[in-house]
Amino acid sequence: MLPNAADLSFFLEVANTGNMSRAAERLGVTQPALSQSMKRLEIAFDQQLLLRGKGGVTLTKSGEKLFTGARALLDDWESLKEESAKDAENLRGRYSLGLHSSVALYTVKHFVPQLLNQYPGLEFKFVHDLSRKLTEDIISFKLDFGLVINPVSHPDLVIRELFKDEVSFWKSKKKTSANDMNSDEKVLIVEPDLSQSQDLLAKLAKKKITFKRIITSSNLEVIKELVLSGAGVGILPGRVVGDEAKKMEVLGSQFPKFSDRLCLIYRADIQKSTASRQLTALIQEALRDI
């Protein structure tokens, strides 16, 4: 059992006065309450700390060691409380932010440089994974915030929608047998673990549209580069395609699409401080209309 700060403060007063009655009077507590406090300390340290006699109270060897370290412990505790209170009001410290690596490429540049420049004490730890895994990590207290696609509602989560996107079938404007839908050599390039891809593939199967070969990759940027090269048709979010859209085109209306929402999420019961609220507001403002 760890000692509490009040018991350590009481112990220092007893040690300084050498008298339980006088220490209780100076501390504004009853002598029985002070005696209970000293008993808690002795239980916590599993050592006798005080010797009581007619002339007052003296310290044992263990008590002398505690007296030497207790002041430093209390000073460290007060400093920690002051720093914690400061962090609650000022935007500083390290925050963990979960987001898919592809989402990171078109979002973080819009708020990280400005925040780091404006708040010298602020640090970020980025964690990259699928949105559903990141959502689970926020719910289970492993991450502070997330920029995730299509988060599932949860009673402990705050979900702030920032903007929408659309996942479609894309091909290069450079025509090849691999991206020609009339060719028997057409190729599909896809990230199979994304729920959007799974939904679109299921709809594609219902339309009986097939490809000779399927290439899979866990990296959407790799898929984009392959599509640009003419290696095949790719399933990609419009935000990932970005400026390369001028070199690519979305396949026609017979091909299904999937609507995405990018959201900022966090636990309402954790992010209560002024600093946390300030950070969420700044991220929302920076990303709402990109």
Task: Please give the pLDDT value at position 274.
Answer: 79
The reported pTM is 0.67
Among candidate residues 89, 106, 127, the one where a domain is terminated: 89
Task: Please give the pLDDT value at position 132.
Answer: 93
What the block records as the tokens of 36 is 């209970």
Distance separating alpha carbons of residues 62 and 280, to the nearest angstrom: 49
Distance separating alpha carbons of residues 274 and 114, to the nearest angstrom: 19
Task: Please give the pLDDT value at position 80.
Answer: 64
Task: Please give the pLDDT value at position 81.
Answer: 60
Q: Which residues neighbour 152 within 8 Å (Cβ) at sequence distance 6 or greater?
A: 132, 135
Q: Assess whether 191 and 49 both reside in one domain.
A: no
- Structural domain count, the chain: 3
Q: What CATH number is given to the structural domain containing 113? A: 3.40.190.10
Q: Assess whether 40 and 77 both reside in one domain.
A: yes
Task: Please give the pLDDT value at position 126.
Answer: 96
Each residue's pLDDT, cut to its tens digit, for the chain (290 residues) gives 567 778 888 899 999 999 999 998 888 889 899 999 999 989 888 889 999 887 788 999 988 888 888 878 777 776 666 555 445 557 788 889 999 999 999 999 999 999 999 988 889 999 999 999 999 999 998 999 999 999 999 998 999 999 999 999 999 999 999 999 999 999 999 999 999 999 999 999 999 999 999 999 999 999 999 999 999 999 999 999 999 999 999 998 899 999 999 999 999 887 777 788 889 999 999 998 78
Task: Please give the pLDDT value at position 134.
Answer: 96
Dihedral sign (CA 142, 148, 153, 155):
positive
Distance separating alpha carbons of residues 204 and 255, to the nearest angstrom: 7
For residue 85, the one-letter residue type is A
Q: Assess whether 101 and 128 both reside in one domain.
A: yes
Parent domain of 156: 93-163+261-287
